[in-house]
Amino acid sequence: MSFFARFAQNRGALIGLIILLLIIVMAILAPLLFPESPWRMVQRPFLPPLSQEGFLLGTDTMGRNVAAGLMHGAWVSLLIGLVSTSVALLIGVPLGAIAGYYGGLVDDFLMRFTEFFQTIPNFALAIVLVAIMQPSITSIVLAIALVSWPPVARLVRAEFMSLRHREYVEAARLVGQTNSTIILRQILPNTLSPIIVLASLMVATAILLESALSFLGLGDPNVMSWGYMIGAARTVIRQAWWLSFFPGVAILLTVLALNLVGEGLDDALNPKLSRER
Amino acid sequence: MPVTTDSATEHSSAETVLSIRDLSVALPKGADRALAVEDVSYDVNRGEIMCVVGESGSGKSMAANTVMGLLPKGVHPVQGEVNFLGQNVITLPEKQHRALRGLKIGMIFQEPMTALNPLMRVGAQIAEVFEAHGQLTPKQRQERALELLIEVGIPQPEKAISAYPFELSGGQRQRVMIAMALALEPVLLIADEPTTALDVTTQAQILELIRDLQRRRGMAVMFITHDFGVVAEVANRVCVMRHGKIVEIGEAKDVLENPQNPYTKALIAAIPSNAVPPHRETSQVAPLLEIKQLNKVFRSRGGWFKSAREVRALDDISLTLARGETMGIVGESGSGKSTLGRCVVRLEHPDSGELLLDGVNLSQLKGDALRRERHRVQMIFQDPYASLNPRTRVGMAIAQGPMANGTPKAAALKQAGELLDLVGLGASAVERFPHEFSGGQRQRIGIARALALNPELIVADEAVSALDVSIQAQVLELLEELKQRLSLSLLFITHDLRVAAQICDRIVVMQHGRIVEQGSAEQIFLHPKEAYTQSLLDAIPGRQAPVAATA
User: Can you spell out the DSSP letters for chain A?
Assistant: --HHHHHHHSHHHHHHHHHHHHHHHHHHHHHHH--S-TTSB-S-SSPPTTSSTT-TT-B-TTSBBHHHHHHHHHHHHHHHHHHHHHHHHHHHHHHHHHHHHH-HHHHHHHHHHHHHHHTS-HHHHHHHHHHHH-SSHHHHHHHHHHHHHHHHHHHHHHHHHHHTTSHHHHHHHHTT--HHHIIIIIIHHHHHHHHHHHHHHHHHHHHHHHHHHHHTT-S-TTS--HHHHHHHHGGGTTT-HHHHHHHHHHHHHHHHHHHHHHHHHHHHH-HHHHHT-
In this structure, are residues B377 and B457 in contact, taking their beta carbons and an 8 Å threshold? yes
Plot region of B436 (φ>0 → left; ψ -120 to 50 → alpha; else → beta)? alpha
Confidence class of residue A108 from pLDDT cuts 50, 70 and 90?
very high
pLDDT band for position B545 (cuts 50, 70, 90): low
| pLDDT attached to residue B6 | 41
What residues of chain B lie within 8 A of the CB of A185, using their CB?
Answer: 392, 400
Pick among B388, B389, B491 to test the A interface (most A CBs inside 10 A)? B389
What is the spatial distance between Cα B163 and Cα B126, in angstroms, rounded to a whole number? 12
Rounded mean pLDDT, A89-115: 94
- Start-to-end CA distance of chain B, whole Å, equals 52
CA distance A210 to A187: 33
Q: Give the residue numbers spanning the domain of B468.
A: 287-298+308-539
Provide the CB-side half-sphere exposure for B447 (13 A, CA): 31
| pLDDT tens per residue, range B126-173 | 998 888 888 888 889 999 999 999 888 888 888 888 888 888 888 888
Whether residue B294 is found in the same domain as residue B160: no
pLDDT of residue A208: 86
Reply yes or no on whether the pLDDT at A178 is more than 50. yes
Q: How far apart are CA B402 and CA B453, in angstroms?
A: 6
B220 within some domain = no
Per-residue confidence band for B9, with pLDDT thresholds at 50, 70 and 90: very low
Of B30, B372, B389, the CB nearest to A168: B389
Nearest Cα residue in chain B from A175: B401
Residue A253 near residue A272 (C-beta atoms within 8 A): no
Q: Does one domain contain both B175 and B291?
A: no
Q: Which residues of B148-161 are buried (b: 16+ CB within 10 A; e: fewer)?
A: bbebbbbeebeebb
Amino acid type, B331: G
- B91-113: pLDDT as tens digits: 888 888 888 887 888 888 877 77
Domain end, chosen from B185, B205, B237, is at: B185
What is chain A's alpha carbon radius of gyration, rounded to the nearest angstrom?
22
B404, A170: Cβ pair inside 8 Å? no
Chain B positions touching A189 (Cβ under 8 A) are 389, 391-392
Q: d(Cα A125, Cα B114) in Å, to the nearest integer?
A: 45
If asked whether residues B400 and B527 sit together in one domain, one would say yes
The reply to whether B347 touches chain A by the CB within 8 Å rule is: yes
Q: Are the beta carbons of B434 and B355 closer than 8 angstroms?
A: no
Question: What average pLDDT is seen over chain A?
Answer: 87
Contacts of B381 in chain A (CB under 8 A): 167, 170-171
User: Chain-wide mean pLDDT for chain B?
Assistant: 84
pLDDT value at position B324? 85
Q: How many CB atoms lie within 10 A of CB B329?
A: 30
Using CA atoms, how far apart are residues A233 and B293, in angstroms rounded to an integer?
A: 80
Q: What angle do CA A225, A231, A237 make, to 5 degrees?
A: 125
- Return the beta strands (E) in B301-350 as ranges: 309-322, 326-331
- Report pLDDT for A145: 94
Q: What percent of chain A has pLDDT over 90?
A: 38
Q: Which residues of A touch B397 (CB under 8 A)?
A: 168
Q: How confident is the model at residue B305 (pLDDT cuts 50, 70, 90)?
A: low
Paired sense of beta strands B35-45 and B514-520, if any: unpaired
| CB of B320 closer than 8 Å to CB of B289 | yes
Angle at A197 between CA A194 and CA A198, to 5 degrees: 85
Helix A188-215 × helix A122-133 angle, to 10°: 70
In a domain, B106, yes or no: no
Which of A69, A61, A63, A62 minimizes the C-alpha distance to A38? A69
B377 forms bridges with which residues in the sheet?
B457
Question: What's the pLDDT score for residue B11?
Answer: 39
Whether the model pTM is above 0.90: no
Residue A71 has pLDDT above 80, yes or no: yes
- Judge contact between A44 and A51, C-beta under 8 A: no
Compare all CA atoms of chain B with the CA of A166 and give the residue at the minimum distance: B386
Q: Does A190 touch chain B (CB under 8 A)?
A: yes
pLDDT at B303: 59
Classified as helix, coil or strand, B301 is coil
Does residue B240 form part of some domain?
A: no
Q: How far apart are CA B463 and CA B346, in angstroms?
A: 18
Q: Is A173 on the interface with B (CB under 8 A)?
A: yes
Cβ–Cβ below 8 Å for A175 and B390: no
Question: A176 and B375 in contact by Cβ < 8 A?
Answer: yes
Select from B73, B379, B397 the Cβ nearest to the Cβ of A174.
B379
CB atoms A176 and B382 under 8 Å: no
- Alpha helix (H) residue ranges in B39-121: 62-68, 94-100, 112-115
Asked if residue B116 is part of any domain, the answer here is: yes
**pLDDT for B410 beyond 60:** yes
Could you count the other beta carbons within 10 Å of the beta carbon of residue B115? 17
Is residue B451 domain-shared with residue B335, that is, in the same domain? yes
User: CB distance B400–A172 less than 8 Å?
Assistant: yes
Greater confidence (B110 vs A78) lies with A78
Kindly determine whether residue B405 and residue A186, on different chains, have CB atoms separated by under 8 Å.
no
Q: What residues of A are in contact with residue B389 (Cβ under 8 Å)?
A: 168-169, 172, 186, 189-190
The predicted pLDDT at position A54 comes to 76
β B352-357/B309-322 pair status: unpaired
Would you list the DSSP string of B221-256?
A: EEEEES-HHHHHHH-SEEEEEETTEEEEEEEHHHHH
ipTM above 0.85, yes or no: no
Q: B349 by DSSP, 3-state: which?
A: coil
* Model confidence at A21: pLDDT above 60: yes
Q: What angle do CA A36, A37, A39 make, to 5 degrees?
A: 135
Mean pLDDT of B53-70: 85
pLDDT digits (tens, 9 = 90+) for B115-130: 888 888 889 999 988 8
Tell me, yes or no, whether B332 and B479 share the same domain.
Answer: yes
Region A34-39: mean pLDDT is 83
Model confidence at B466, in pLDDT bands (50, 70, 90)?
confident
Asked if residue B52 is part of any domain, the answer here is: no
When pLDDT is cut at 50, 70 and 90, the band that residue B4 belongs to is very low
Q: Is residue B214 part of a domain?
A: no
Measured in angstroms, the CA of A154 and the nearest CA of chain B are apart by 23
* Cβ-based neighbour number of residue B484 at 10 Å: 10
A171 touches chain B (CB under 8 A): yes
What is the average per-residue pLDDT within B304-331?
83
Q: Of the candidates B334, B322, B93, B363, which has an alpha carbon nearest to the alpha carbon of residue B198?
A: B334
What pLDDT, on a 0 to 100 scale, did the predictor assign at position B102?
A: 78
B331 with B337: CB under 8 angstroms? yes
Which range has the worst mean pLDDT, B104-108, B171-175, B265-269, B443-447?
Answer: B265-269
Q: What is the CA radius of gyration of chain B?
A: 26
Does A219 score more than 90 pLDDT? no
- What structural domains and CATH numbers belong to chain A? 73-276 (1.10.3720.10)
Residues B386 and B521 in one domain: yes
When scoring B373, B387, B400, B407 by the number of chain A Cβ atoms within 10 A, the one with the most, hence best to mutate, is: B400
Following DSSP, what letter does each residue of B176-190 receive, concatenated? Answer: HHHHHHHTT--SEEE
B172 with B292, same domain: the answer is no
| Banded model confidence at residue B328, pLDDT cuts 50, 70, 90 | very high
Per-residue pLDDT at A277:
38
**Contacts A–B by Cβ distance under 8 A:** 67
* Sequence-ordered alpha helix ranges (H) in B73-137: 94-100, 112-115, 122-132
Number of structural domains, chain B?
2
Give residue A109's pLDDT: 94
Which among B169, B185, B201 is the end of a domain?
B185
For residue B309, pLDDT beyond 80: no
pLDDT at B428: 86
Residues B500, B383: one domain? yes
pLDDT of residue B281: 61
B:15-54 residues touching chain A, CB 8 A cutoff: 30
Interface test with B, best of A1, A3, A168 (most B CBs within 10 A): A168
Region of B293 please: left (phi>0), alpha (psi -120 to 50) or beta.
Answer: left
Q: What pLDDT, on a 0 to 100 scale, did the predictor assign at position A1?
A: 59
pLDDT, residue B424, reads: 87
Going by C-alpha positions, the residue among B274, B286, B180 that lies closest to residue B233 is B274
Domain match, B470 and B344 both: yes
Q: Work out the angle at residue B123's Cα, subtended by the Cα atoms of residues B117 and B124, and round it to the nearest 5 degrees.
A: 60
Q: Tell whether B324 is covered by a domain.
A: yes
Return the amino acid letter for B69.
G
What CA–CA distance (Å, rounded) separates B142 from B4? Answer: 31
- What part of B 369-388 touches A (C-beta under 8 Å)? 371-372, 374-375, 377-379, 381-383, 386-388
The whole-number average pLDDT for the span B354-358 is 88
CA distance to partner chain A, nearest, from residue B550 (Å): 34
Contact B387 A175 (CB under 8 A): no
Residue B307 has pLDDT above 70, yes or no: no
For residues B45-61, give the mean pLDDT. 88
- Element spanning B368, H or E: helix B367-373
The CATH number of residue B470's host domain is 3.40.50.300
B352: which residues sit within 8 A by CB, 6+ positions away? B293, B294, B295
Q: For residue B373, what is the nearest residue in chain A, using CA coordinates?
A: A176
- Contact flag B382-A178 (C-beta cutoff 8 Å): no
Residue B436 lies in a domain: yes
Q: Does B73 touch chain A (CB under 8 A)?
A: yes
More confident residue, A97 or A50: A97
- Asked if B429 contacts B395 with a C-beta cutoff of 8 angstroms, the reply is yes
pLDDT of residue B277: 62
* Total number of residues shown for chain A: 277
* pLDDT (0 to 100) of residue B409: 92
Calpha distance B136→B148 (Å, rounded) = 15
pLDDT at A166 over 80: yes
Mark whether B178 and B318 lie in a shared domain.
Answer: no
Mean pLDDT of B160-189: 87
Distance from the Cα of B470 to chain A's closest Cα (Å) equals 24
The answer to whether residue A189 neighbours chain B at the CB level (below 8 Å) is: yes
CA distance A220 to A72: 13
Inter-chain contact B73–A175, Cβ cutoff 8 Å? Answer: no
B452 vs A contacts (CB less than 8 Å)? 175
Give the nearest partner residue to A189 out of B345, B391, B401, using CB atoms.
B391
CA distance B429 to B25: 34
A residues 197-236 near B, CB within 8 Å? none
Answer yes or no: do A176 and B386 touch at CB < 8 A: no
Could you give the CA distance from residue B524 to residue A265 in angstroms, rounded to a whole number? 57
CA angle in degrees (0–180, nearest 5) for B337-B338-B342? 125
Domain edge (last residue) among B153, B168, B185: B185
Query: B246 - beta bridge partners?
Result: B241
Q: Which residues pair with B298 in a beta bridge?
A: B311
Q: How far apart are CA B168 and CA B189, in angstroms?
A: 23
